[in-house]
Amino acid sequence: MATIYEVSELAGVSLATVSRVMNDSSKVSPKTREKVEAAMKELGYRPNLIAQSLASNRSNSVGVLVPELHGPFFGAMLSALEDEIRASGRHIIITAGHSDETKERESIEFLSKRRCDALILYVYGVPDDFLVEFSESSVPVVFLNRLIPKKANQCISLDNELGGYMATKSLLELGHRELAYISGPLWKRDSTKRLMGHKRALGEFGLGLNEQLMFEGTYEESSGRRGMKHLLASGVPFSALICGNDEMAAGAMGAARDRGLTIPGDFSVIGFDNVPFTRYLYPELSSIDCPIEEMGRMAARCVLRDAYGREGLEIKNRFEPTLVRRASISSIQ
């Protein structure tokens, strides 16, 4: 690979001039620029961005830590995020933390060594105080889907409580009173918040949570299946089911169908996240939509503002879910 030294020799100019041609077009005469560019072309010169990063103390990379690379949720967010960062001439370095505290800490350490210009963290395992302390360093940090009060303007989050409230209220307004609930893992705060919203809506209708109609799942399809079986085995009747995410809803629907039950004939179902496959299910699944692409985009904008000094960007920190009604819910019979 040709280096800047070879380009400077061939063009008959100094290293600094070659560097200026590459980075700053204002202080180079057109004639000199032509000579340099011709030399670059002849040599097939490709700048070494590693050297550039070291010399300029800027890596032009953004570290992104997400829970998983697979699954229907994170891909869309990463895609939107990557597009925005890439459009600004930078790239992202992605790593997965698997929602595990130790792995998340390793990942953060890893990205830190990598001297990313900024970090976007979507983490569950590590506590707030660690994150607050970490974000006091000189590297800008953006927290995705997490609200840390002391760092509110570095957080891009969804009002999960409102989503749980909306899901529940929509069913209550359709006349349902016996509501079953399959939550995500309750150590994850988005699960807890969604459940809180559920309880708030129940409260508004003078109802309380029936523990027998409640099952804690893992956000995976199989736990939705297990939840359905658990709920049916309880013998307590319910006319609607709220699931903490769509994958569990799909599992629950499958388990119900295995028992000869129909949706929404026997009971209505509503999921959470509105991932693409909600449209493919039969009946099509109603769901609480999270604007995850928009949130990813917004995280990218935070980074452009904080690490790269971009001005005039409108940044929204708090997102609200919306209810997407499909065929899986109906009025109570």
CB within 8 Å of 212: residues ≥ 6 apart? 234, 236
Cα–Cα distance between 166 and 307 in angstroms, integer?
36
Cα–Cα distance between 232 and 193 in angstroms, integer?
25
Closer CB to DNA, 5 or 282, in the complex: 5
Q: Identify which range of 2-10, 40-48, 237-245, 306-314 contacts a second copy by CB under 8 A.
A: 40-48
Q: Is 258 in the site for a second copy (CB under 8 A)?
A: no
Cα–Cα distance between 80 and 62 in angstroms, integer?
14
Q: Which does 68 bind (CB under 5 to 8 A by kind): a second copy, DNA, none?
A: a second copy
Binding site for DNA (CB under 7 A): 1, 3-5, 12-17, 19-20, 22-23, 26-29, 31-32, 47-48, 51-52, 54-57
Phi-psi region of 65 (alpha: psi -120 to 50; beta: other; left: phi over 0): beta
CA distances from 237 to 227, 232, 249, 307, 312 (A): 14, 8, 18, 54, 55
Closer CB to DNA, 20 or 90, in the complex: 20
The structure tokens listed for 227 are 């939840």
Among 38, 54, 87, 236, binds a second copy (CB under 8 A): 54
In this structure, what are the phi and psi dihedrals at residue 88, rounded to the nearest 5 degrees? -95, 10
Among 16, 49, 236, 313, binds a second copy (CB under 8 A): 49
Q: Where are the alpha helices (DSSP H) in 205-311?
A: 221-233, 246-258, 292-306
Q: Which does 23 bind (CB under 5 to 8 A by kind): a second copy, DNA, none?
A: DNA
Q: Which does 72 bind (CB under 5 to 8 A by kind): DNA, a second copy, none?
A: a second copy
Of 248, 245, 247, the closest CA to residue 230 belongs to 248
Of 251, 255, 263, 273, the closest CA to residue 327 belongs to 263
Cβ of residue 11: shortest distance to DNA, in angstroms?
9
Pairing of strands 322-324, 118-121: unpaired
Q: Which does 16 bind (CB under 5 to 8 A by kind): DNA, a second copy, none?
A: DNA
Q: Is 87 in the site for a second copy (CB under 8 A)?
A: no
Q: Is 157 in the site for a second copy (CB under 8 A)?
A: no
Closer CB to DNA, 22 or 132, in the complex: 22
Closer CB to a second copy, 92 or 131, in the complex: 92
Q: Which does 20 bind (CB under 5 to 8 A by kind): DNA, a second copy, none?
A: DNA
Q: Is 209 in the site for a second copy (CB under 8 A)?
A: no
Cβ of residue 227: shortest distance to DNA, in angstroms?
49
- DSSP state, residue 139: S
CA distances from 87 to 24, 53, 92 (A): 19, 18, 11
The structure tokens listed for 208 are 């309380």
The DSSP-derived string for 42-106 is HHT----HHHHHHHHT---EEEEEES-SSSTTHHHHHHHHHHHHHHTT-EEEEEE-TT-HHHHHH
Q: Identify which range of 19-27, 108-116, 169-177, 316-324 contacts a second copy by CB under 8 A.
A: 108-116
Q: Is 70 in the site for a second copy (CB under 8 A)?
A: yes
Q: Is 125 in the site for a second copy (CB under 8 A)?
A: no
Q: Which does 4 bind (CB under 5 to 8 A by kind): DNA, a second copy, none?
A: DNA
Residues that bind a second copy (CB under 8 A): 46-51, 53-54, 59, 61, 68-72, 74-76, 78-79, 82-83, 86, 91-96, 109-110, 112-115, 221, 250-251, 253-254, 257, 276-277, 279-282, 284
